[in-house]
Amino acid sequence: MSDISQAQASLARGFNDPARDSQTAFRALMYAMARPGVPRALEARLSPPAPLTPELAALALTVLDYETTVWLDPALAGEAAVVDFLRFHTSARLVTEPEAAQFALIADGSALPAFSRFAQGEPDYPDRSTTLLVAVSSFTDGPFQVEGPGLPAPVGFGATPLPADMTQRLAENRALFPLGIDLVLAAPGAILALPRSVRVREEA
Amino acid sequence: MTVMPAITYNFAYLDEQTKRMIRRAILKAIAIPGYQVPFASREMPMPYGWGTGGVQVTAAILGADDVLKVIDQGSDDTTNAVAIRGFFKATAGVATTTRTQEATVIQTRHRIPETALTAGQVLVYQVPIPEPLRFLEPRETETRKLHGLADYGLMHVKLYEDISRHGHIATTYAYPVAVAGRYVMDPSPIPKFDNPKMDDCPALQLFGAGREQRIYAIPPHTRVVSLDFEDHPFEVQRFDKPCALCGAQDVYLDEVILDDRGGRMFVCSDTDHCESRRADGHVGPLGAPPPGKGKP
């Protein structure tokens, strides 16, 4: 990539209409959080530099600003255009220690770091924990069964790629409740949330 | 002649940075049902106590295609409700309604509508004192610890003292609830009559306390249990007579003084519910039948 094209990529546009576009993305995120495991449509009209996906970028522009700290996984942190895009559009402080981050952007779902590396919150302030925003390529109806606040009955969900020990990780995260991390998965055109309050089983 | 420039606001009044801060608090509140998330409450163009917390939550979630309903003690037409509806009509240009079924966002002070809420609706409560333990333990550091340890013995002692003094639990509003089996929460000063409506509610419930700078939430279909004892189970208020205007039996009633000789009537506190029942032809003991359906 030449210097000029890299500069152009790093100046990829943010939201066309920040007030309305971020509201639309937030409502999708809010409903996703309120109905865990159920994919929620998110139309992200953004073309951020790879490997940042349009959905991940929309979530980042919706929640990040100069008051927040964000950790990037190696795939994102290694791409100068991604770092510039986030710096320019959000002014969020990039941190290298996952436990110092309020949000973590992860481009590669299969390389999800251990949840224990992130901030878990404190007993008096369980909200001081990291929210993980993770790009995946698609959602499926299984093999996981999720239940918890927000759901009248258990629902099935799945996403690829995810680590093989996902059920165990989510179980360990649930055991920490009310501490623990919150997870948002972003696939093309949809997002799905797994807040710390959910219980997840894997179907045999 | 110079023309004064029209005053324009950012969509829904608040600036984008403030909305993001409130939105982050809302997301944490949903993830930890019943836990009070601190947020940097802003000054609003209304005094504290008039719903600044609810207004900030509504402003942060509101979109151009939302339909907003605002109620104050169940009523769509009191000063507070009219003012807040007008505020968002002016600053966000959203459609407003008084019909519970038509609304996507309902901001409320001290009531839950009688009409059952549906999935996709958001109920935003205005909260004066979010901390259920505040009158029992004034120190924030201590109440935080009690929540952290899920130590709610104080609250049960308070309810027990009610019983020992009055023979029954005398708390009638802001009746404490346990959310999703973990956090004890103040449902805001709704009558305890409304407490059962919070349990397994299909709508998302958000609570905003402006002066106290707290946001909390109940996700849809979450278990909400009013605290009680085995031998003194939780009970809601009962009314001897139906609504004087629409004859509804199973609703919360307000007392209306009719004269200075002790005359009074009890009518639905939920004005939309009462109006739609009367439009459907229900008539209470003091109500007039709808026009064209005979003499009163």
Mean pLDDT to the nearest integer, B253-264: 93
Task: State the pLDDT confidence band at B3, using cuts at 50, 70 and 90.
Answer: confident
Q: How far is B275 from chain A (nearest CA, A)?
A: 31
Distance, CA of B34 to CA of B125 (rounded, Å): 13
Q: Which residues in chain B are closer than 8 Å to A154, comparing Cβ atoms?
A: none
Domain ranges in chain A are 3-202
pTM above 0.90, yes or no: yes
Q: Do B61 and A26 touch (CB under 8 A)?
A: yes
Residue A167 in tokens:
């059920």
Question: Residue B230's pLDDT is what?
Answer: 94
State the Cα–Cα distance between residues B146 and A36, nearest whole angstrom: 28
The answer to whether residue B292 scores a pLDDT higher than 60 is no
**In the beta sheet, which residues pair with residue B184?**
B178
- Residue A19: its chain B contacts at CB < 8 A? 10-12, 16
For residue B211, the distance in angstroms to the closest alpha carbon of chain A comes to: 19
**pLDDT above 80: residue B95:** yes
Tokens representing B142 are 């201590």
Task: Render B25-67 in DSSP notation, one character per residue.
Answer: HHHHHHHSTT--EE--PPP-SS-TTSSHHHHHHHHHH--TT-E
DSSP state of B75: B
CB contact under 8 A, B31 and A68: no
Q: Where are the domains of chain B?
A: 16-226, 238-289
Structure tokens at A70: 């964000």
pLDDT value, residue B296? 44
Tell me the one-letter amino acid at B210: G
Mean pLDDT for all residues in chain A: 93
Superfamily in which the A3-202 domain is placed by CATH = Bacterial phosphonate metabolism protein PhnH (3.40.50.11310)
pLDDT for res A1: 47
Q: State the pLDDT confidence band at A12, using cuts at 50, 70 and 90.
A: confident
| Mean pLDDT of the region B148-160 | 95
Query: Cβ B180–A197 below 8 Å, yes or no?
Result: yes
Which residue matches tokens 């900030």? B56
Which is higher by pLDDT, A148 or B296?
A148
Fold of B16-226: Rossmann fold (3.40.50)
Enter the ipTM: 0.94
Q: Which residues of A touch B37 (CB under 8 A)?
A: 127
Among A70, A127, A198, most B C-beta atoms within 10 A, so best to mutate, is A127
CB pairs under 8 A between A and B: 115
Query: What confidence tier does B295 reach under pLDDT thresholds 50, 70, 90?
Result: very low
* Cα A193 to Cα A195: distance, rounded to the nearest angstrom: 6
Q: Look at residues B285, B132, B123 and name the one whose alpha carbon lies nearest to residue B214.
A: B132
Position B289 scores a pLDDT of 72
What confidence score (pLDDT) does residue B261 get?
Answer: 94
Both tokens of B39, joined, read: 């947020």
Q: State how far Cα B235 lies from the chain centre.
A: 19
pLDDT band at A150 (very low <50, low <70, confident <90, very high): very high
Range of weakest confidence among A10-14, A33-37, A91-95, B28-32 = A10-14
Residues 6+ apart with CB under 8 A from B26: A30, B37, B57, B60, B61, B206, B215, B217
Q: Which amino acid is at A58?
A: A
